[in-house]
Amino acid sequence: MKIGLSTLLFGGLDRDIAIHEASNAGYDGLELCSIPGMVEHFHPNMCDCIYEGIKMTLEKSGLLLESVGCSGAGPGTERFEGLMEAAADLGAKYFTVSTGGEADDEDAWATMMATMRSAIPVCERTGVKLSVMPHVRASVYSIASARRFMEEIDSEWLGLNLDNTHLERVGDCPVDAVKELREWIFTGRIRDFRSNDLGIGLTENQVPGKGQANVKGYWEALREYTDLEIVMVEIVGRRGLARSAIADIITETISVLKSYG
């Protein structure tokens, strides 16, 4: 299983720096993020030459573009269709997002399901699949709610973006999640965390082995129970984190993950 890197950590630094640092650290792939206020490494409605330039830069760097990360711009928002079209122009297979909504609220669930179903025609038109992360506080946040979502949505265009830390923070076992949800897993995210609540904790503690998560067990479960080509490191950074500090974090992270075999 190959290892990729989300550009979420590179808030405040430009796209080419993110691509260079990911390649230099030995990553195999990338998720490009466009999240206003956090990190914007591409935009909807850019000219074709810019998308082609990004693709050429990625190709030269040896990085596979797995997905685009667009938290807060999912179905029902004004940026969604433009970002989906951009994802297609970039050659990304997946668009990653959470469902939004509110945990354990049936009215919110009904609204969320209608909104997610509205994405299916957009997926069919662009050829980009929606990979939904079970996310703390959202309508889909746990193993049970993820299973319910997939059974009710029943579409080849929507699947799961599994993140071990979101599941563990709500009290679910990520290893069990891989086993129980494997038929629906489109993409996987991996990191550590240290927190006494639903928060993720400090950036530095998201490096595997520096938090409280069973990162190794989750990694091994992904290898054993899924056919994922690549799993993405998705570390939440502080905007303005120095380039050298980011380089240290991503280098240490990939070193630990590779040590797992």
Angstrom distance (rounded) from CA 212 to CA 194: 5
Burial label, 200 (beta-carbon count in 10 A; 0-12, 13-18, 19+): buried
- pLDDT of the chain, 261 residues: tens digit per residue: 999 999 999 998 999 999 999 999 999 999 999 999 899 999 999 999 999 999 999 999 999 999 999 999 999 999 999 999 999 999 999 999 999 999 999 999 999 999 999 999 999 999 999 999 999 999 999 999 999 999 999 999 999 999 999 999 999 999 999 999 999 999 999 999 999 999 999 999 999 999 999 999 999 999 999 999 999 999 998 777 999 999 999 999 999 999 998
pTM of the model: 0.97
Mean pLDDT of the chain: 97
pLDDT tens profile 67-122 = 999 999 999 999 999 999 999 999 999 999 999 999 999 999 999 999 999 999 99
pLDDT of res. 135: 98
pLDDT of res. 248: 97
Tokens 């494997």 belong to which residue? 182
Burial label, 221 (beta-carbon count in 10 A; 0-12, 13-18, 19+): buried
H helices of 26-173, in order, are 48-61, 80-90, 106-117, 120-126, 143-153, 164-169
Q: Is 49 left (phi over 0), alpha (psi -120 to 50) or beta?
A: alpha
H or E stretch including 37?
A: none
pLDDT of res. 69: 98
H or E stretch including 21?
A: helix 15-25
